[in-house]
């Protein structure tokens, strides 16, 4: 009986993921590069792990609210990497700013539903990666810019594509670094009040909680001052691996 119910739960979960995959609006290129698959997977993992994610999500929301309170004038807030809005206090931003723009490659239906009753919030679909220090889309006139758990994600697909072509590891590292540096330079160039929240390290833990592997999430790019840091238990065992858990160290970074 228990096995029957467990099978039903897993099947329902898989059906929900398939439905999201088929019905979430986004470009062909975004699907082809695997971003939609990743977005659907994040939402599904959130449904399974929300208890252990809640402290991280709350810390991120708190950092954004404090940054918004420090920002004057409150004309326009732009959120980069808004995604499913799990970590974005969008209602608070909408109440404080004249307009709020949410930018991501994908705006899942849960985000679209949430902003329906917020007339001064709008969505923009854009690729925020790249290696040119161009202004961010919709950043003209922005007084607050939030980069929300996006930075470490930007190099993943381009570096994976390079690795598939058997590029040497130092070339992959250099591409990752330039993408990270470019995002930081683009943020600084806006002249807006900035709130940068990002993973800084990824840790693999054994069943006793010992760190057995740690890697830099930012391709060894050194960040300026860190305001505060915390852990995000992103994939407790057996979520990603049967006997190991994954934890990200996340930082709220001061970018002047």
Ligand X SMILES: C[S@@+](CC[C@H](N)C(=O)[O-])C[C@H]1O[C@@H](n2cnc3c(N)ncnc32)[C@H](O)[C@@H]1O
CB 149 to ligand X: min, Å:
4
CB 234 to ligand X: min, Å:
9
CB 250 to ligand X: min, Å:
10
DSSP state of 206: -
Element containing residue 68 per DSSP (H, E): helix 35-70
- Residue 179 lies near ligand X (rule: CB under 6 A): no
216 bridge partner residues: 201
For 242, the token pair is 């049967």
* Binding to ligand X, residues 28-67 (CB under 6 A): 35, 39, 42
- Residue 87 lies near ligand X (rule: CB under 6 A): yes
**Options 78, 142, 154, 196; binder of ligand X; rule CB under 6 A:** 154
- Residue 84 lies near ligand X (rule: CB under 6 A): yes
The residue (of 39 and 143) whose beta carbon lies closer to ligand X is: 39
Element containing residue 114 per DSSP (H, E): helix 109-114
Q: Is the peptide bond before 238 cis (omega within 30 degrees of 0)?
A: yes
**Is the separation of the CB atoms in 82 and 102 below 8 Å?**
yes
Q: Which residue has the tokens 């004057």?
A: 72
- Residue 129 lies near ligand X (rule: CB under 6 A): yes
Q: Is 42 exposed, middle or buried (0-12, 13-18, 19+ CB in 10 A)?
A: middle
CB 198 to ligand X: min, Å:
10
- Residue 82 lies near ligand X (rule: CB under 6 A): yes
- Under the rule (CB under 6 A), what is the footprint of ligand X? 35, 39, 42, 81-88, 104-106, 127-129, 148-150, 153-154
């Amino acid at each position: 009986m228990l096995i029957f119910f467990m099978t039903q739960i897993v099947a329902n979960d898989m059906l929900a993921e398939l439905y999201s995959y088929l019905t979430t609006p986004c470009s062909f290129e975004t699907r082809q590069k695997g971003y939609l698959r990743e977005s659907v997977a994040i939402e599904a993992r959130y449904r399974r792990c929300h208890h252990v994610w809640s402290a991280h999500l709350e810390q991120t929301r708190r950092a954004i609210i404090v940054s918004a309170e420090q920002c004057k004038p409150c004309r326009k807030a732009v959120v980069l990497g808004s995604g499913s809005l799990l970590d974005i206090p969008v209602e608070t931003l909408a109440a404080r700013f004249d307009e709020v723009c949410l930018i991501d490659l994908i705006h899942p239906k849960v985000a679209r539903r949430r902003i329906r009753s917020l007339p001064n919030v709008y969505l923009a679909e854009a690729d925020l990666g790249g290696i040119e220090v161009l202004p961010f889309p919709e950043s003209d006139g922005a007084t607050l810019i939030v980069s929300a758990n996006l930075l470490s994600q930007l190099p993943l697909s381009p570096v994976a594509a390079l690795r598939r072509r058997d590029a040497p590891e130092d070339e992959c590292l250099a591409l990752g670094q330039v993408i990270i540096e470019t995002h930081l330079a683009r943020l600084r160039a806006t002249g807006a009040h900035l709130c940068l929240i990002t993973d800084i390290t990824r840790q693999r833990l054994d069943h006793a909680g010992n760190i057995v592997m740690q890697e830099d999430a930012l391709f060894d790019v050194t960040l300026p001052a860190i305001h505060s840091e915390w852990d995000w238990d992103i994939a407790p065992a057996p979520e990603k691996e049967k006997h190991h858990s994954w934890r990200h160290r996340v930082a709220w970074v001061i970018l002047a």
